[in-house]
Amino acid sequence: MSETSNKNGKVVVNRSMSLDGFIAGPGHAMDWGPLAGFVAPGDVAEVAAATGAMLIGRRTWEVGDKMEAEDPGSTDYPFSGPFFLLTHRPLEPPDPDVTILSGDIGEAVATALDAAGGKNLEILGADVAGQCLGRGLVDEILVYVLPVLLGDGIPFSSPGLTRVDLEPISSARSGGATILRFGVRK
Ligand SMILES: NC(=O)c1ccc[n+]([C@@H]2O[C@H](COP(=O)([O-])OP(=O)(O)OC[C@H]3O[C@@H](n4cnc5c(N)ncnc54)[C@H](OP(=O)(O)O)[C@@H]3O)[C@@H](O)[C@H]2O)c1
């Protein structure tokens, strides 16, 4: 466990990925990967139930907002815990259900993990996940490999990320997806 982990909660980078390693298509397109279209609902619910808080990058937030505006319900996820948004800019309009954090990634993870109340903290966003991996703050990576080749887009690893050694935990088929779990070697 990382230095910031409490008794039960893990810091988990959680994302869907194309077979060729992209987590978003060109222009941040996410029309290829609604989890609900591929992963068995029980598996999504199980992951959500183990999650106590989410730490989200601003670009991920904005892509989610746009998807929701264009296709209401498309970002639905069975989670109702605290959201922490990493950004240098205020939300317009402000959202009372979201806590804005800025600055040191270690402090942001510690704050959000504390709020997770012993459950897992989910990290969303390539840049934010890269910062967390680079600082050794991540305990586990959970990837939903979806049956598509995107050819181009936002890769799993953000620029500047150096080698991270992983420990396989499990792999399982779920609907049309394959769920891979890895522990991060410290
Ligand atoms: N496939 C999946 O499961 C999945 C999951 C999540 C995201 N995504 C995709 O990944 C893409 C977004 O990833 P991304 O790497 O482009 O961006 P990101 O990690 O979502 O957000 C990066 C932004 O967050 C803010 N930020 C990051 N660290 C900060 C810090 N320490 N202090 C203050 N603000 C900070 C900055 O925004 P400002 O400076 O502008 O405030 C930064 O530009 C989107 O296309 C999204 O759809 C895919």
Instruction: Give whole-number Cα distances, 174 to 33, 148, 178, 182, in Å.
Output: 14, 15, 6, 17
Which ligand 1 atom is at minimum distance from the Cα of 158? 15
Dihedral in degrees, nearest 10, Cα atoms 127, 32, 30, 142: -40
pLDDT > 70: percent of the chain? 96
What would the two tokens of residue 78 be?
A: 């069975």
Q: pTM for this structure?
A: 0.93
Instruction: Using most ligand atoms within 8 A of CB, pick from 66, 88, 123, 180 the residue to mutate for ligand 1.
Output: 88
> What is the structure's pLDDT at 1?
45
CA distance 171 to 126: 22
> What is the structure's pLDDT at 71?
86
Instruction: Using most ligand atoms within 8 A of CB, pick from 56, 128, 146 the residue to mutate for ligand 1.
Output: 128
Ligand 1 centroid–CA 56 distance in Å is 7
